[in-house]
Amino acid sequence: MVDLRRAVLIALTCYVSFAQAQVVEWVTGTSGKWHEASNWVGGIIPTASDSAVISGAGSEVLLSLDAEALHVTVTLQAKMEIDIGNKLTIENSPGDGLFIGALASVENRGLLSIYNTAEDGIDANDRLVNQAGGVISVDETQGDLISLQGSMDTIYNYGRMILSNGDAMRFSGVGVWLVHANTIEISNAEYGLLFFAGAGGSLLEGSYTEIENVVRTAIDLRHDVIMTNKGTIQIDGYGQEGIATYGTLTNSGDITIVDSASASGTALVIDSFTCCGPIHLGEIHNYGSIEVNGCITAVSLDNSTTLINDGEIVIFDCESGILAEPRSITNLKSSSSFEIDQASSSPLDFALEALFQVHLNAVFDADL
Protein backbone atom coordinates (compact mmCIF):
# COMPACT_ATOMS: atom_id res chain seq x y z
CA MET A 1 0.00 0.00 0.00
CA VAL A 2 1.05 3.63 -0.45
CA ASP A 3 0.51 6.31 2.19
CA LEU A 4 -2.52 8.60 2.35
CA ARG A 5 -0.63 11.72 1.23
CA ARG A 6 0.45 10.04 -1.99
CA ALA A 7 -3.09 8.79 -2.53
CA VAL A 8 -4.46 12.34 -2.25
CA LEU A 9 -1.80 13.60 -4.68
CA ILE A 10 -2.69 10.95 -7.25
CA ALA A 11 -6.39 11.67 -6.89
CA LEU A 12 -5.87 15.44 -7.37
CA THR A 13 -3.76 14.78 -10.47
CA CYS A 14 -6.62 12.71 -11.81
CA TYR A 15 -9.10 15.58 -11.24
CA VAL A 16 -6.85 18.00 -13.17
CA SER A 17 -6.65 15.58 -16.12
CA PHE A 18 -10.42 15.78 -16.52
CA ALA A 19 -10.88 19.51 -16.00
CA GLN A 20 -12.65 19.85 -19.34
CA ALA A 21 -15.21 17.14 -18.56
CA GLN A 22 -18.03 17.53 -16.08
CA VAL A 23 -16.93 15.94 -12.81
CA VAL A 24 -19.77 14.18 -11.01
CA GLU A 25 -18.98 13.25 -7.41
CA TRP A 26 -20.42 10.53 -5.22
CA VAL A 27 -21.70 11.74 -1.84
CA THR A 28 -18.76 10.87 0.42
CA GLY A 29 -19.52 8.22 3.02
CA THR A 30 -22.67 7.02 1.24
CA SER A 31 -23.38 3.35 0.49
CA GLY A 32 -25.85 2.80 -2.33
CA LYS A 33 -26.62 2.19 -6.00
CA TRP A 34 -25.05 3.99 -8.95
CA HIS A 35 -28.38 4.75 -10.65
CA GLU A 36 -29.99 6.49 -7.65
CA ALA A 37 -29.58 10.25 -8.09
CA SER A 38 -29.61 11.00 -4.37
CA ASN A 39 -26.22 9.26 -4.02
CA TRP A 40 -24.54 11.82 -6.30
CA VAL A 41 -23.73 15.43 -5.43
CA GLY A 42 -26.41 17.67 -6.95
CA GLY A 43 -28.54 14.66 -7.84
CA ILE A 44 -26.67 14.17 -11.14
CA ILE A 45 -26.13 10.60 -12.36
CA PRO A 46 -22.98 10.34 -14.57
CA THR A 47 -23.42 10.01 -18.33
CA ALA A 48 -21.04 9.06 -21.14
CA SER A 49 -19.56 12.59 -21.15
CA ASP A 50 -18.96 12.79 -17.37
CA SER A 51 -16.04 11.92 -15.12
CA ALA A 52 -17.37 10.01 -12.11
CA VAL A 53 -15.40 10.36 -8.85
CA ILE A 54 -16.04 8.05 -5.90
CA SER A 55 -13.90 8.93 -2.91
CA GLY A 56 -13.63 8.53 0.85
CA ALA A 57 -14.17 5.97 3.58
CA GLY A 58 -17.68 4.54 3.62
CA SER A 59 -18.28 5.37 -0.05
CA GLU A 60 -19.55 2.09 -1.49
CA VAL A 61 -21.15 1.94 -4.93
CA LEU A 62 -23.16 -0.94 -6.39
CA LEU A 63 -23.76 -0.86 -10.12
CA SER A 64 -26.97 -2.90 -10.46
CA LEU A 65 -28.09 -1.45 -13.83
CA ASP A 66 -26.08 -0.71 -16.96
CA ALA A 67 -24.17 2.58 -16.74
CA GLU A 68 -21.63 4.63 -18.68
CA ALA A 69 -19.04 7.30 -18.06
CA LEU A 70 -16.16 9.08 -19.74
CA HIS A 71 -13.88 8.12 -16.84
CA VAL A 72 -14.25 6.65 -13.35
CA THR A 73 -12.06 7.33 -10.31
CA VAL A 74 -12.38 5.17 -7.18
CA THR A 75 -10.01 6.31 -4.45
CA LEU A 76 -9.26 6.97 -0.76
CA GLN A 77 -10.89 3.83 0.76
CA ALA A 78 -13.92 3.90 -1.56
CA LYS A 79 -15.34 0.70 -3.10
CA MET A 80 -17.19 -0.04 -6.33
CA GLU A 81 -18.87 -3.27 -7.39
CA ILE A 82 -20.38 -4.16 -10.77
CA ASP A 83 -23.15 -6.68 -10.14
CA ILE A 84 -23.92 -9.84 -12.12
CA GLY A 85 -25.52 -9.17 -15.51
CA ASN A 86 -24.72 -5.44 -15.55
CA LYS A 87 -22.33 -3.42 -17.69
CA LEU A 88 -20.19 -0.35 -17.06
CA THR A 89 -19.05 1.26 -20.32
CA ILE A 90 -16.15 3.74 -20.34
CA GLU A 91 -15.24 5.21 -23.74
CA ASN A 92 -13.10 7.97 -25.25
CA SER A 93 -11.43 9.02 -22.01
CA PRO A 94 -8.85 11.84 -22.33
CA GLY A 95 -6.81 10.07 -19.62
CA ASP A 96 -7.15 6.70 -17.90
CA GLY A 97 -10.41 4.83 -18.31
CA LEU A 98 -10.68 3.53 -14.73
CA PHE A 99 -8.42 4.86 -11.99
CA ILE A 100 -8.23 2.90 -8.72
CA GLY A 101 -6.44 4.96 -6.09
CA ALA A 102 -4.62 3.78 -3.00
CA LEU A 103 -6.75 2.14 -0.29
CA ALA A 104 -9.64 1.68 -2.75
CA SER A 105 -11.04 -1.42 -4.48
CA VAL A 106 -13.10 -2.40 -7.53
CA GLU A 107 -14.88 -5.74 -7.86
CA ASN A 108 -16.44 -6.91 -11.12
CA ARG A 109 -19.10 -9.62 -11.43
CA GLY A 110 -20.62 -8.28 -14.65
CA LEU A 111 -19.03 -6.60 -17.67
CA LEU A 112 -16.51 -3.78 -17.48
CA SER A 113 -15.91 -2.43 -20.99
CA ILE A 114 -13.22 0.21 -21.64
CA TYR A 115 -12.48 1.54 -25.12
CA ASN A 116 -10.25 4.23 -26.62
CA THR A 117 -8.35 5.89 -23.78
CA ALA A 118 -5.61 8.51 -24.10
CA GLU A 119 -3.67 6.86 -21.25
CA ASP A 120 -4.10 3.51 -19.44
CA GLY A 121 -7.26 1.48 -19.75
CA ILE A 122 -7.14 0.64 -16.04
CA ASP A 123 -4.62 2.33 -13.73
CA ALA A 124 -4.80 0.39 -10.47
CA ASN A 125 -2.93 1.46 -7.36
CA ASP A 126 -4.78 -1.02 -5.17
CA ARG A 127 -7.12 -4.00 -5.35
CA LEU A 128 -8.90 -5.09 -8.55
CA VAL A 129 -10.97 -8.29 -8.45
CA ASN A 130 -12.59 -9.89 -11.50
CA GLN A 131 -14.90 -12.53 -10.06
CA ALA A 132 -16.11 -15.78 -11.67
CA GLY A 133 -18.47 -14.87 -14.51
CA GLY A 134 -17.06 -11.35 -14.71
CA VAL A 135 -15.61 -10.01 -17.96
CA ILE A 136 -13.17 -7.12 -18.28
CA SER A 137 -12.67 -5.88 -21.84
CA VAL A 138 -10.03 -3.21 -22.62
CA ASP A 139 -9.35 -2.13 -26.21
CA GLU A 140 -7.47 0.72 -27.91
CA THR A 141 -5.39 2.38 -25.20
CA GLN A 142 -2.54 4.85 -25.72
CA GLY A 143 -0.97 3.60 -22.48
CA ASP A 144 -1.10 0.25 -20.72
CA LEU A 145 -4.12 -1.98 -21.09
CA ILE A 146 -4.01 -2.59 -17.33
CA SER A 147 -1.37 -1.23 -14.97
CA LEU A 148 -1.00 -2.29 -11.33
CA GLN A 149 1.55 -0.32 -9.33
CA GLY A 150 2.26 0.35 -5.70
CA SER A 151 3.32 -2.07 -2.96
CA MET A 152 1.77 -5.38 -1.87
CA ASP A 153 -1.28 -4.84 -4.14
CA THR A 154 -2.97 -7.57 -6.19
CA ILE A 155 -5.12 -8.18 -9.24
CA TYR A 156 -7.30 -11.27 -8.79
CA ASN A 157 -8.75 -12.78 -11.96
CA TYR A 158 -11.36 -15.51 -11.55
CA GLY A 159 -13.26 -14.51 -14.70
CA ARG A 160 -12.22 -13.46 -18.20
CA MET A 161 -10.03 -10.57 -19.32
CA ILE A 162 -9.91 -9.58 -23.01
CA LEU A 163 -7.15 -7.03 -23.65
CA SER A 164 -6.08 -5.70 -27.05
CA ASN A 165 -4.35 -2.81 -28.84
CA GLY A 166 -2.34 -1.18 -26.06
CA ASP A 167 1.07 -1.28 -24.38
CA ALA A 168 0.87 -4.17 -21.90
CA MET A 169 -0.66 -5.70 -18.81
CA ARG A 170 1.96 -4.20 -16.50
CA PHE A 171 2.92 -4.92 -12.88
CA SER A 172 5.41 -2.69 -11.09
CA GLY A 173 6.28 -2.44 -7.39
CA VAL A 174 7.55 -4.72 -4.64
CA GLY A 175 4.97 -7.36 -3.79
CA VAL A 176 2.63 -6.34 -6.63
CA TRP A 177 1.02 -9.58 -7.74
CA LEU A 178 -1.26 -11.27 -10.27
CA VAL A 179 -3.44 -14.16 -9.08
CA HIS A 180 -4.93 -15.71 -12.21
CA ALA A 181 -7.39 -18.59 -12.11
CA ASN A 182 -9.43 -18.37 -15.32
CA THR A 183 -8.81 -16.66 -18.69
CA ILE A 184 -6.62 -13.79 -19.88
CA GLU A 185 -6.44 -13.02 -23.61
CA ILE A 186 -3.98 -10.38 -24.84
CA SER A 187 -3.55 -9.47 -28.51
CA ASN A 188 -1.96 -6.82 -30.73
CA ALA A 189 -0.04 -5.18 -27.89
CA GLU A 190 3.51 -3.93 -27.41
CA TYR A 191 4.06 -6.52 -24.66
CA GLY A 192 1.81 -9.18 -23.16
CA LEU A 193 2.46 -9.65 -19.43
CA LEU A 194 5.19 -7.29 -18.21
CA PHE A 195 6.52 -7.62 -14.64
CA PHE A 196 9.04 -5.21 -13.15
CA ALA A 197 11.45 -5.79 -10.25
CA GLY A 198 9.83 -7.26 -7.17
CA ALA A 199 6.48 -8.05 -8.77
CA GLY A 200 5.21 -11.54 -9.56
CA GLY A 201 2.38 -13.82 -10.53
CA SER A 202 0.62 -17.08 -9.72
CA LEU A 203 -1.08 -18.66 -12.73
CA LEU A 204 -3.21 -21.28 -11.00
CA GLU A 205 -4.26 -24.75 -12.09
CA GLY A 206 -7.02 -24.50 -14.69
CA SER A 207 -6.00 -20.99 -15.80
CA TYR A 208 -5.60 -20.15 -19.48
CA THR A 209 -3.38 -17.36 -20.76
CA GLU A 210 -3.38 -16.58 -24.48
CA ILE A 211 -1.03 -13.94 -25.93
CA GLU A 212 -1.05 -13.23 -29.67
CA ASN A 213 0.78 -10.89 -32.02
CA VAL A 214 2.84 -8.76 -29.66
CA VAL A 215 5.47 -6.38 -31.01
CA ARG A 216 8.14 -7.23 -28.44
CA THR A 217 7.89 -9.84 -25.67
CA ALA A 218 4.86 -11.95 -24.79
CA ILE A 219 5.87 -12.53 -21.14
CA ASP A 220 8.66 -10.36 -19.75
CA LEU A 221 9.93 -11.05 -16.21
CA ARG A 222 12.47 -8.47 -14.99
CA HIS A 223 14.93 -9.05 -12.12
CA ASP A 224 13.63 -10.37 -8.79
CA VAL A 225 10.33 -11.35 -10.41
CA ILE A 226 8.87 -14.73 -9.42
CA MET A 227 6.20 -16.39 -11.54
CA THR A 228 4.65 -19.84 -11.18
CA ASN A 229 2.49 -21.42 -13.87
CA LYS A 230 0.22 -24.37 -13.16
CA GLY A 231 -2.17 -23.67 -16.01
CA THR A 232 -1.92 -23.30 -19.79
CA ILE A 233 0.03 -20.57 -21.57
CA GLN A 234 -0.43 -20.21 -25.33
CA ILE A 235 1.82 -17.71 -27.15
CA ASP A 236 1.41 -17.20 -30.90
CA GLY A 237 3.32 -14.39 -32.58
CA TYR A 238 6.01 -12.22 -30.99
CA GLY A 239 8.50 -9.76 -32.42
CA GLN A 240 11.46 -10.38 -30.10
CA GLU A 241 10.93 -13.00 -27.37
CA GLY A 242 8.22 -15.43 -26.39
CA ILE A 243 9.24 -15.52 -22.72
CA ALA A 244 12.19 -13.53 -21.34
CA THR A 245 13.25 -13.69 -17.71
CA TYR A 246 15.84 -12.07 -15.47
CA GLY A 247 13.86 -13.58 -12.61
CA THR A 248 12.49 -17.05 -11.87
CA LEU A 249 9.82 -18.92 -13.82
CA THR A 250 8.58 -22.24 -12.44
CA ASN A 251 6.31 -24.18 -14.77
CA SER A 252 4.30 -27.24 -13.81
CA GLY A 253 1.60 -26.61 -16.42
CA ASP A 254 1.68 -26.42 -20.21
CA ILE A 255 3.45 -23.72 -22.22
CA THR A 256 3.26 -23.52 -26.03
CA ILE A 257 5.22 -20.88 -27.92
CA VAL A 258 4.55 -20.56 -31.64
CA ASP A 259 5.81 -17.93 -34.07
CA SER A 260 4.56 -19.39 -37.31
CA ALA A 261 3.89 -16.02 -38.96
CA SER A 262 7.35 -14.48 -38.88
CA ALA A 263 9.74 -16.82 -37.01
CA SER A 264 11.84 -13.79 -36.16
CA GLY A 265 12.71 -14.07 -32.47
CA THR A 266 13.80 -16.26 -29.57
CA ALA A 267 11.19 -18.38 -27.81
CA LEU A 268 12.82 -18.62 -24.35
CA VAL A 269 15.39 -16.10 -23.15
CA ILE A 270 17.04 -16.68 -19.77
CA ASP A 271 18.99 -13.53 -19.09
CA SER A 272 21.25 -11.87 -16.53
CA PHE A 273 21.12 -8.29 -15.31
CA THR A 274 23.65 -6.11 -13.50
CA CYS A 275 22.85 -2.63 -12.26
CA CYS A 276 23.59 -0.78 -9.04
CA GLY A 277 24.13 -3.92 -6.95
CA PRO A 278 24.26 -7.71 -7.30
CA ILE A 279 24.01 -9.68 -10.51
CA HIS A 280 20.50 -11.00 -11.13
CA LEU A 281 20.45 -14.38 -12.85
CA GLY A 282 17.44 -15.72 -14.69
CA GLU A 283 16.19 -19.26 -14.12
CA ILE A 284 13.50 -21.48 -15.63
CA HIS A 285 12.53 -24.66 -13.82
CA ASN A 286 10.19 -26.86 -15.84
CA TYR A 287 8.20 -29.66 -14.20
CA GLY A 288 5.49 -29.64 -16.86
CA SER A 289 5.47 -29.30 -20.64
CA ILE A 290 7.07 -26.67 -22.88
CA GLU A 291 6.64 -26.81 -26.66
CA VAL A 292 8.35 -24.40 -29.06
CA ASN A 293 7.38 -24.34 -32.72
CA GLY A 294 8.89 -21.95 -35.26
CA CYS A 295 11.61 -19.47 -34.22
CA ILE A 296 15.14 -18.28 -34.89
CA THR A 297 16.46 -19.60 -31.54
CA ALA A 298 14.45 -21.83 -29.22
CA VAL A 299 16.38 -21.30 -25.96
CA SER A 300 19.02 -18.65 -25.20
CA LEU A 301 20.93 -18.78 -21.91
CA ASP A 302 23.01 -15.76 -20.91
CA ASN A 303 26.13 -15.96 -18.71
CA SER A 304 25.59 -18.01 -15.54
CA THR A 305 21.84 -18.51 -16.04
CA THR A 306 20.03 -21.82 -15.56
CA LEU A 307 17.50 -24.06 -17.32
CA ILE A 308 16.37 -27.07 -15.27
CA ASN A 309 14.09 -29.59 -16.94
CA ASP A 310 12.15 -31.98 -14.72
CA GLY A 311 9.40 -32.45 -17.31
CA GLU A 312 9.14 -32.39 -21.10
CA ILE A 313 10.55 -29.87 -23.57
CA VAL A 314 9.95 -30.25 -27.32
CA ILE A 315 11.40 -27.92 -29.97
CA PHE A 316 10.27 -28.02 -33.61
CA ASP A 317 11.28 -26.11 -36.70
CA CYS A 318 13.68 -23.52 -35.26
CA GLU A 319 16.96 -22.45 -36.81
CA SER A 320 18.81 -23.08 -33.52
CA GLY A 321 17.92 -25.25 -30.54
CA ILE A 322 19.91 -24.14 -27.48
CA LEU A 323 22.34 -21.22 -27.51
CA ALA A 324 24.31 -21.28 -24.22
CA GLU A 325 26.75 -18.63 -23.02
CA PRO A 326 29.70 -19.32 -20.64
CA ARG A 327 28.89 -20.66 -17.15
CA SER A 328 25.25 -21.21 -18.03
CA ILE A 329 23.69 -24.50 -16.88
CA THR A 330 21.31 -26.74 -18.79
CA ASN A 331 20.26 -29.51 -16.42
CA LEU A 332 18.12 -32.44 -17.60
CA LYS A 333 16.86 -34.25 -14.50
CA SER A 334 16.16 -37.96 -14.19
CA SER A 335 13.15 -39.16 -16.21
CA SER A 336 12.82 -35.84 -18.03
CA SER A 337 12.78 -35.55 -21.81
CA PHE A 338 14.18 -32.95 -24.21
CA GLU A 339 13.65 -33.20 -27.97
CA ILE A 340 14.98 -30.94 -30.70
CA ASP A 341 13.60 -31.65 -34.17
CA GLN A 342 14.18 -29.93 -37.52
CA ALA A 343 16.78 -27.42 -36.35
CA SER A 344 18.01 -26.06 -39.67
CA SER A 345 21.22 -24.51 -38.34
CA SER A 346 22.53 -25.88 -35.02
CA PRO A 347 20.58 -27.89 -32.42
CA LEU A 348 23.22 -27.12 -29.77
CA ASP A 349 25.58 -24.15 -29.60
CA PHE A 350 27.46 -24.16 -26.28
CA ALA A 351 30.19 -21.66 -25.47
CA LEU A 352 33.27 -22.59 -23.49
CA GLU A 353 32.42 -23.33 -19.83
CA ALA A 354 28.71 -23.74 -20.57
CA LEU A 355 27.50 -26.81 -18.68
CA PHE A 356 25.14 -29.42 -20.15
CA GLN A 357 24.04 -32.07 -17.62
CA VAL A 358 22.04 -35.17 -18.52
CA HIS A 359 21.04 -37.26 -15.50
CA LEU A 360 20.32 -40.99 -15.38
CA ASN A 361 17.12 -41.97 -17.26
CA ALA A 362 16.78 -38.54 -18.80
CA VAL A 363 15.98 -38.61 -22.53
CA PHE A 364 17.72 -36.20 -24.89
CA ASP A 365 16.99 -36.49 -28.62
CA ALA A 366 18.37 -34.00 -31.16
CA ASP A 367 19.10 -33.93 -34.87
CA LEU A 368 22.86 -33.39 -34.43
Q: Is the pLDDT of residue 55 over 90?
A: yes
Is residue 368 packed enough to be buried (19+ CB in 10 Å), middle (13-18) or exposed (0-12)? Answer: exposed
Mean pLDDT for 36-55 is 97
For residues 211 and 188, give the distance between their C-alpha atoms in angstroms, rounded to a whole number: 9
Look at residue 208 in the predicted model and tell me its pLDDT.
98
What's the mean pLDDT in 151-169? Answer: 94
User: For 90-94, 160-164, 258-262, 355-359, which range has the lowest pLDDT when averaged over its residues?
Assistant: 258-262
pLDDT for residue 7: 45
Residue 5 — very low, low, confident or very high, per pLDDT cuts 50/70/90?
very low
Share of the chain above pLDDT 90, in %: 78
The domain spans of the chain are 192-368
Least confident of 13-22, 141-150, 175-184, 326-335: 13-22
Q: How confident is the model at residue 69 (pLDDT cuts 50, 70, 90)?
A: very high
Residue 342 has a pLDDT of: 74
Q: Which of 40-44, 126-130, 241-245, 279-283 has the lowest mean pLDDT?
A: 279-283
Backbone φ, ψ for residue 303 (5° rounding)? -50, 125
62, pLDDT greater than 80: yes
